[in-house]
DNA sequence: GAATTGACGTTCT
DNA sequence: AAGAACGCCAATT
């Protein structure tokens, strides 16, 4: 009953993404124990668009703003990332690995 | 109610 | 090594 669905878990992880950092769908999925459910993360983001989840900080594993087409504006997602100090060009994040935030790594490093 | 799609990533051939 | 197929869960048609 209290088992949260995959989606709910994704929301929580996405909300934990720090400012100026980005992550990938696969990273979140892997953190939840379902590396092959990366697609579901994307679906969750689609639902999270109406929530307080910074979906603009989540991109695919190449750092490509694949879901930018789901945002209102055309470059809204890109502008949000640039606003946080992340360099984006051609819908792709520059130094993606540099701004990468792995939940299964950063969070576990706390303890 | 069943079949298909969907912000991806891994695994097999 | 490169390309194709599969897998995951939920929502939509």
pLDDT digits (tens, 9 = 90+) for A10-21: 999 999 999 999
- Give the pLDDT score at A111: 47
Determine the CATH number of domain A6-110.
1.10.10.10
Tokens of A23: 């992550």
The separation, in Å, between residue A34 CA and nucleotide C5 C1' comes to 19
Q: Is the CB of A46 under 7 A from strand C?
A: no
Average pLDDT, chain A: 90
C strand bases under 7 Å from protein CB: 6-11
pLDDT of residue A86: 97
The domains of chain A are located at: 6-110
- Closest nt by CA–C1' to A25: B8
The pLDDT of residue A5 = 86
Could you give the percent of chain A with pLDDT greater than 90?
A: 78
pLDDT band at A108 (very low <50, low <70, confident <90, very high): low
């Amino acid at each position: 009953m209290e088992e949260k669905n995959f989606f709910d878990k994704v929301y929580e992880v996405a909300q934990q993404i720090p400012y100026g950092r980005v992550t990938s769908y696969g990273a979140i999925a892997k953190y939840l124990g379902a590396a092959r459910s990366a697609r579901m993360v994307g679906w969750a983001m689609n639902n999270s668009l109406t929530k307080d989840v910074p979906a603009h900080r989540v991109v695919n594993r190449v750092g490509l703003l694949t879901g930018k087409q789901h945002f209102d504006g055309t470059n809204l997602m890109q502008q949000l990332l640039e606003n946080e100090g992340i360099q984006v060009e051609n819908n792709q994040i520059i130094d993606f690995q540099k701004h990468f935030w792995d939940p299964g790594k950063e969070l576990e490093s706390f303890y």
